[in-house]
Amino acid sequence: MNASQEYAEAIKKVLDQVLSTQMDAIFKAASILTDVIASNGIIYTFGTGHSHIIAEDVTYRAGGLVPIDAILEPSLTGHQQVHKSETMERVEGVADVILQYYGISFRDCLIIISNSGRNSAPIEMANGAQERGCPVIAVTSLSHSQGTTSRHSSGKKLYDFSDVVIDNGCPRGDALLNLPGAPQPTGAGSGVSGLFIMQMIMVQTVENLIQRGIEPPLFRSGNLDGSDEINRTLMKRYQGRIKIW
């Protein structure tokens, strides 16, 4: 078996672990999102570094729920000047500025993606959201988080300030393969697992809304004829409240 096949098998095991152990948490997360949409709230997503990719993936896309706002703070995402963002996510006090800017409240919910769950920005985002009465859903690696020290002065981790914790099933250090001759493991798993978990939460939320008799506000692909008018109509419901648009 070559390395690419070995990675595929390793990812399958991670996803199978999510399916066998995390469904209760996924259902709880979807229930929270359903309540938020039914109450005309906003679903916020947040991640630093590579985790911002997972936060962004469910926003403004075909088949996705409309009232989702990805918090993509440029100094924390790592899409440019990545080493600086790695340092910034460890700085205390940044999260309060972001929370105030977005006006997150008890009507909303916040999904935080952080593989390690140990850095200040995601920890303080979770704490600050809970202080505002906003439920927090964490997508994290418990193996990594519980196997490392906190970088926050409280000594706590992301999962300490989360109403629902979903374990992405990835090992401490994230990389899945130990290849002969490589100085350390390779083949990150948290991105694939995180995207898988997020889409599971979203489609379950859609089903929940239908079961409540609520038509889910879903984007149509912008590359289908007639989609622009449909999407503009949906977006008007949340105009001025979602900053990523």
CA 175 remoteness from chain centre = 19
**pTM of the predicted protein model:** 0.96
**pLDDT value at position 124?**
97
Position 82 confidence tier, pLDDT thresholds 50, 70, 90: confident
Q: What is the pLDDT of residue 79?
A: 80
Query: What tokens does 34 get?
Result: 């359903």
pLDDT (tens digit per residue) in 168-227: 999 999 999 999 999 999 999 999 999 999 999 999 999 999 999 999 999 999 999 999
Question: Is the per-residue pLDDT at 85 higher than 90?
Answer: no
pLDDT band at 134 (very low <50, low <70, confident <90, very high): very high
CB 235 within 8 A of CB 245: yes
Q: What is the pLDDT of residue 10?
A: 98
Tell me the domains of the chain and their CATH numbers.
15-236 (3.40.50.10490)
- pLDDT value of residue 36: 98
Those residues with Cβ within 8 angstroms of residue 197's Cβ, 6 or more apart along the chain or in another chain: 18, 22, 26, 139, 166, 168
